[in-house]
Structure 1
Amino acid sequence: MKHTANTKYNVLITGASAGIGKELADIFAANRHDLVLVARSEEKLDSLAVKYAIQYGTKAKVIPLDLAEPEAPDKLFEQLHEEGVQVTALVNNAGFGNYGYFKETALQKELDMIQLNVVALTHLSKLFLQQLTPGKSAKILNVSSTAAFPPAGPLMAVYYATKAFVQSFSEALATELQQDNISVTALCPGPTETNFQDEANLRGSGLFSKQFIADAQSVAQAGYEGMMAGEVVVIPGIQNKITALTAQLMPRSFVRNMVKRVQEKRS
């Protein structure tokens, strides 16, 4: 499924205030797509909306919302429905991680992670598929991770499990929706320079050694281009492609232990 140059989308982006989500919003705005921006920070979203209007003449609707709250997806969908806003592309970007041994980490943070990374993404996909019209080249982009490919992620056990879900769900949905001309793309970045590592307590982990860190703009650009081209899986960067392939080909016990060694903190 290919994107035509004159196709204009009304794009809902979650987690749009920072990191890869913000970079995706910048790219969609620069390409003159209208936006619905969702994140917790109303101030940051308002600033982006003003910027896009001035620079590109792009309309951006701002909805401050914490999608880790179970009722948030329904609230978001109902608000847009009541206001007559038709979403034609959905970007499920919001998510976070958490570092540490599972027996020592905070349960509530991990339950919130599952709610945001898995439940909200699934819930929003179900709701907005009601609006994505078959035959009209509608699109979904789910931000997965190279963490989806190893059999497990010791020291980030719950996060890796959530991304394995996102990857499996996205690829299954992509296959189901082929007949409807609705594309589903899973963007699978590796370590990326955002606020993710601070929020996940990952500073000092070998996972974020300097030579392997991508910039958020290049990751977002790869995701945008892959989504528009109707690609199912987008893995930005040669090193990340090798990592994903290795994780699937090597013995599972070897990969589990390798992931743990890589993620252990050096300082």
Structure 2
Amino acid sequence: MAMATALVTGGSSGIGLAFAHALAARGDDLVLVARDGSRLDVAAQQLRARHGVAVETLPADLSDPAGIRTVEAFIDAHEIDVLVNGAGFAAHADLLDADWSGHAGALTAMALAVLVLSGAAGRQMVRRGAGGIVNVASVNALIDADVYSATKRWVVSYTEALAGRLAGTGVHATVVLPGWARTNYHAAAGMRRPRLPGWAWVEPEQVAAEALAALDAGRVQVTPKAIWRAAAWALRHGPVGLSRLVASKVRSGHDRQGAR
């Protein structure tokens, strides 16, 4: 029986790398996509040694449309059974900044890339009648703080739409909304980690495990860890003022962290 192949963007670190390990542990061969080729090579070597699967690397900057086209062309030329759109980065700059290039890069990497790559993978999966797509959003999608939260809300809405389009095809789409996860997300952006108690953090491995379980079960949305499921419920069903208050605190926190 042929091995399944999973393509993971953002696969060299953090949640993306956790997905790669989870998929390799069940026997899937991998294609890892990220900007940094050397970090990709380190991750690939680790995955091959630990799981004994084939791992291909595909360096591409998804904040650049040319990078998106590179990965789209790869998908068009290869059979992909699972796609994980995990590439992302902090995008918390002031919405009134005159230099909007950072905002544009965030929208390209975390929205346009999700749209294009999900479309490319989805078309071939539908032809085969099987496959799965996981898009990584965030609990931040449920507040209105900045470009990051707005982009992640788009990912949630898009995945809901995609799941509807795929209904009855044998292909499933799931969006995962992690809370604060123990990754290099804040360090990469030059920000301090929020001062949360240890029990509030979610491990990347739990994010990947719960997202893949939801995909296998045909569930469209999943929020790992009980505390974050409760927070997501409150933000969705509580008073509008609650989400605005949280968004205000998040914005002020980013301002303080960025000023160090």
Q: Aligned-residue CA RMSD in angstroms?
A: 2.2
Matched, 1:226 2:214: yes
Distance 1:211 1:80 in 2: 39
* CA apart distance, 1:228: 2.4
Q: 5+ unaligned residues in a row in structure 2: which ranges?
A: none
Q: 2:51 aligns with which of 56, 66, 87?
A: 56
Matched, 1:251 2:239: yes
Q: Is the contact between residue 34 and residue 60 of structure 2 (CA under 8 Å) also seen in structure 1?
A: yes
Question: Kindly tell me: are residues 54 and 76 of structure 1, through their superposed partners in 2, closer, same or farther at Cα, counting changes over 3 Å?
Answer: same
* Residues 141-169 of structure 1: CA deviation (Å, up to 9, x unaligned): 0001111223x12xxx1001000100000
Partner of 1:3: none
Partner of 1:70: 65
Moved more, 9-18 or 95-104: 95-104
* Residues 67-107 of structure 1: CA deviation (Å, up to 9, x unaligned): 111122222232454xx521111111101122343234852
Higher relative contact order (CA 8 A, sep 6+): 1
Partner of 1:176: 165
Partner of 1:19: 14
* CA apart distance, 1:46: 1.8
AA aligned opposite 2:8:
I
Q: Is the contact between residue 75 and residue 120 of structure 2 (CA under 8 Å) also seen in structure 1?
A: no
Matched, 1:160 2:149: yes
Distance 1:65 1:212 in 2: 33
AA aligned opposite 2:124:
Q
AA aligned opposite 1:148:
A
Question: Kindly tell me: are residues 239 and 80 of structure 1, through their superposed partners in 2, closer, same or farther at Cα, counting changes over 3 Å?
Answer: closer
Normalization by structure 2: what TM-score?
A: 0.89
Distance 1:234 1:7 in 2: 29
* Residues 43-87 of structure 1: CA deviation (Å, up to 9, x unaligned): 222223233333322111111111111122222232454xx5211
Matches within 5 A, 1:74-93: 74-81=69-76, 84-93=77-86
Q: 5+ unaligned residues in a row in structure 1: which ranges?
A: 1-5
AA aligned opposite 1:13:
V
Count residues in correspondence. 255
Partner of 2:203: 215
Question: Kindly tell me: are residues 80 and 141 of structure 1, through their superposed partners in 2, closer, same or farther at Cα, counting changes over 3 Å?
Answer: closer
Matched, 1:146 2:108: no
Moved more, 176-185 or 253-262: 253-262
Matches within 5 A, 1:54-133: 54-81=49-76, 84-104=77-97, 106-133=99-126
Distance 2:128 2:20 in 1: 25
Normalization by structure 1: what TM-score?
A: 0.87
Partner of 1:198: 187
Distance 1:230 1:67 in 2: 28
* CA apart distance, 1:8: 4.6
